[in-house]
Amino acid sequence: MPRRASAVVAVVAIALGTVAGNSPAAFAKTRPVTTTLTSVRIWLPSPGSAAAPAAKPAGTTAGAVPMNRVVLPDLFAVAKHEITAAQLAKLARLRTVRNVIAVDGGAVRINGRLVNVIGTNLAAFRSWTPPQTAARRGIWAALGGGGFVTSAATAKRLRLRTGTSYQVAAASNPDITFGGTAAFGVPGVDALVSAKTSKELGLVPALGVLISAPGASLATLTGQVRAVLGTQKSQFVSLRSASQPSQAGQLPVDGNVPSGRPASYLDLFRASAKMYCPGLSWTVLAAIGQIESGDGANNGPSSAGALGPMQFMPATWSFWGIDGFGDTGTPNIMNPYDAVPAAARYLCAYSPGSSAANLSAAIFGYNHASWYVAEVLALAHEYAQVYG
């Protein structure tokens, strides 16, 4: 399994010991957090439904946290002191960088045990988490309601029970409800809270930063980030898989797909690849679906006007849109049963062969950016590792 967050906890511990007098050295014994892709959103509209419903607007439910497009983090930088707004702005302007998000951090005590906790804007951070975490509405509702969520290992170590309140010893000592477990995709992090709860606990603001720079070499990216952060004793952790095959033939092509109307996005990706672009790996469709809309969680319109679970531009859809899986009538850009097959057909037109070059060209045709190709292939390889 690929490990996007398989770094040594001591890297994070450099700075996560500044709350409530905790010593950074204490975290050397904490096990690193690892993340893997274990599931995808399983919802699809019922047979006969014309389109997926739009994502529920933020604020419609207490604690609601909206889901945006998936972002794959490449580098985690941890500083000794707060990263300034000016430094964050410089990082965002780096040529190779696509996205940046800062996280607060510190060490607290729960049930008398030290816990590394980060706090951040949940609506922004949700898109940076592993897909199976981003899709779990329950934990984001709990976090939005002022609760805390931990890794599974931490919950076991502390014997936490979902729905139970625990006193958290930090700058203040509030009772906070445990909202469950999840993988965060950030090394050495035991727990997650909202930005509001972070302030209540007195976590160090902007202690770390996640950076997405698909296509950039890690050596180059690290050098650029180090230059921006200056003389601070920052530490860097790669969040990329140790091994990401580049050959298209190493991505699985699934010919054993059940007949009938797919009941989940995973089945829809598999069936669409088989039926509408034989030879195309279904993992590419899965990666595009997650990156573009979080599997229908954010159907747009985007800032450029793209719509639907596969984020087609209306002009492109007018040519490539098709009815899929027995649908009849006008192809519906918002309906995943039309949109995913149309994406497969579109990719097939750009990739007449099975070579890596053809696959990259097909993905580039979908979104004309080299960074996008790298990001799609990276996520496709994660699907391949888990689902084969």
Please give the pLDDT value at position 65: 62
Q: Where are the beta strands (DSSP E) in the chain?
A: 75-78, 99-110, 113-120, 148-150, 165-169, 175-181, 191-194, 204-212, 235-238
In this prediction the pTM is: 0.67
Separation of alpha carbons 41 and 371, rounded Å: 25
Please give the pLDDT value at position 312: 94
Please give the pLDDT value at position 353: 52
Query: Which of 73-111 are b and which e, b meaning 16 or more Cβ less than 10 Å from the residue's Cβ?
Result: bbbbbbbbebbeeebbebbeebebbbbbbbbbbbbbbbe
Please give the pLDDT value at position 51: 39
Please give the pLDDT value at position 241: 65
Separation of alpha carbons 329 and 323, rounded Å: 7
Q: How far apart are the first and last CA of the chain?
A: 11
Separation of alpha carbons 1 and 105, rounded Å: 28
Helix (H, G, I), strand (E, B) or coil at 68: coil
Mutual orientation of helices 282-293 and 265-276 as an angle, nearest 10°? 130
Separation of alpha carbons 342 and 276, rounded Å: 8
Q: Which residues contact 16 (CB under 8 A, 6 or more apart)?
A: 24, 27, 78, 105, 106, 107, 116, 117, 188, 207
Instruction: Report residues of the chain scoring pLDDT below 50.
Output: 1-62, 242-248
Tell me the residue length of the chain.
388
264, 42 contact by CB (below 8 A): yes
Instruction: Name the one residue in this structure whose structure tokens are 């934990």.
Output: 139
Q: Which residues contact 197 (CB under 8 A, 6 or more apart)?
A: 119, 146, 148, 176
Please give the pLDDT value at position 361: 86
Phi, psi (degrees; rounded to nearest 5) at 168:
-110, 115
Q: Where are the beta strands (DSSP E) in 219-366?
A: 235-238
Separation of alpha carbons 58 and 65, rounded Å: 6
337, 275 contact by CB (below 8 A): no
Please give the pLDDT value at position 256: 75
Nearest CA to 143 out of 115, 123, 171 is that of: 123
Nearest CA to 254 out of 325, 344, 320 is that of: 344
Please give the pLDDT value at position 101: 95
Please give the pLDDT value at position 134: 79
Please give the pLDDT value at position 39: 32
Q: Is 243 exposed, middle or buried (0-12, 13-18, 19+ CB in 10 A)?
A: exposed
Separation of alpha carbons 347 and 364, rounded Å: 9
Q: Is 179 exposed, middle or buried (0-12, 13-18, 19+ CB in 10 A)?
A: buried
**Can you name the residues that pair with 100 across neighbouring β-strands?**
211
371, 215 contact by CB (below 8 A): yes
